[in-house]
Amino acid sequence: MDFVIITGLSGAGKTCALHALEDIGFYCVDNLPSSLLTTFYNLCETSTDSAMKKVAVVIDVRGGNILAGFYEDIKGFKKNNKPFSLMFLDAKEDVLVTRFKETRRRHPLADTVPDKSVESAILLEVSYLEPFKKIADHIIDTTNVSVKLLKERITELFLVNREKGIILSFISFGFKHGIPVDCDTVFDTRCLPNPFYISELREKTGLDSEVYDYVFSFKESKEFVKKLIDFLDCSVPLYRKEGKAELVVGIGCTGGQHRSVAIAETLRNHFSEIGYNSSVFHRDAKKIIN
């Protein structure tokens, strides 16, 4: 059974994530009360309906009772080796405030804070959900991610065969746009020659052959990637041995269009070729360089 539990901060994209899973064949339930999680899970597990073998549910602070029993249920699933994934949607507080004000939605905890403000409600929600973030199998930071890119990330993550073990997710990004908070480890490629300074390459990305070839035309780039692959070849099996479900590797350059994209693609291709479930996500590749 493929059972995905989605939680996280209000405004961080849980509904979008649920829709993405629905689009790839999951039976989806939004705002499931936390007190019903175990009961619903058991019903899905014993059901003879094949549609109930790929299920996604959203559980968050809207369910009331401050997520009563939710943490204990999750820990129980892990202890008993129940097949499930816990996905946490996160975003920076200032971005969440902006999203609520733009949509004119009320935060679900607004009535529980003295000043009724979105800011205070978000801070309270963060404190409630922090334990779940610490034990999540997948943490996705949507601060700088569009709806389209979030759906692509979810689709790539859950379309692969996850029965083979650890999933490797490579994220290219630009340091000037912020480091993704969901990365387990980050590598900085700003020490390598920059295609930005070649006028005919400036508006292209590492997905274009001209940029890719330029990046790897330098001895430094080839040596950098070789040592990076050696490191990951050594460390990934250790993460897998420790039971980690997903390793998110961030590859950063200045703007997130050129060097990081080319190197993230190279890493994904390497690990796919040797049998790992690997995906790549280019967060900033389409941003216009200023």
- Digit-coded pLDDT (tens) for 22-67: 988 899 999 998 889 999 999 999 999 888 989 999 999 887 666 7
Residue 95 identity (one-letter amino acid): V
The residue among 85, 93, 139, 132 whose CA lies nearest residue 250 is: 139
Secondary structure letter of residue 60 according to DSSP = -
Q: What share of the chain is helix, strand, coil (3-state, %, to 5)?
A: 50, 20, 35
pLDDT digits (tens, 9 = 90+) for 87-124: 999 999 999 999 998 888 889 999 889 998 999 999 99
- The number of beta carbons lying within 10 Å of the beta carbon of residue 92 is 16
Q: What is the pLDDT of residue 289?
A: 45
Does the pTM exceed 0.75?
no
240 or 266, higher pLDDT: 266
Residue 50 is predicted with a pLDDT of 85
Of the ranges 71-80, 132-141, 162-171, which one carries the lowest mean pLDDT score?
Answer: 162-171
Q: Which two tokens stand for residue 237?
A: 């099996």
3-state secondary structure of 187: strand
* Per-residue model confidence (pLDDT) at position 45: 92
Amino acid identity of residue 270, one-letter, is H
What's the DSSP call for residue 47?
A: -
Average pLDDT over residues 158-170: 72
Determine the 3-state secondary structure of 27 from DSSP.
strand
Q: Is 146 left (phi over 0), alpha (psi -120 to 50) or beta?
A: beta
What pLDDT does residue 290 have?
40
HSE toward the beta carbon, residue 126, CA cutoff 13 A: 13
List pLDDT tens digits, range 198-237.
Answer: 999 999 999 999 999 999 999 999 999 999 999 999 999 9
Identify each DSSP E strand in the chain by its residue range.
Answer: 2-8, 27-29, 54-58, 85-90, 138-141, 167-174, 185-188, 246-253, 277-282
Query: Looking at residue 160, what is its pLDDT?
Result: 61
In contact, 253 and 223? CB cutoff 8 Å: no
**56: how many CB neighbours lie within 10 A of its CB?**
25
Instruction: Note the pLDDT of residue 245.
Output: 78
Percent of the chain predicted with pLDDT > 90: 66
3-class secondary structure, 242 = coil
For residue 249, give both structure tokens: 């590797």
Residue 69 tokens, joined: 């029993």
The mean pLDDT value for 183-190 works out to 95
Residue whose pair of structure tokens reads 């619903």 in the numeric block: 40
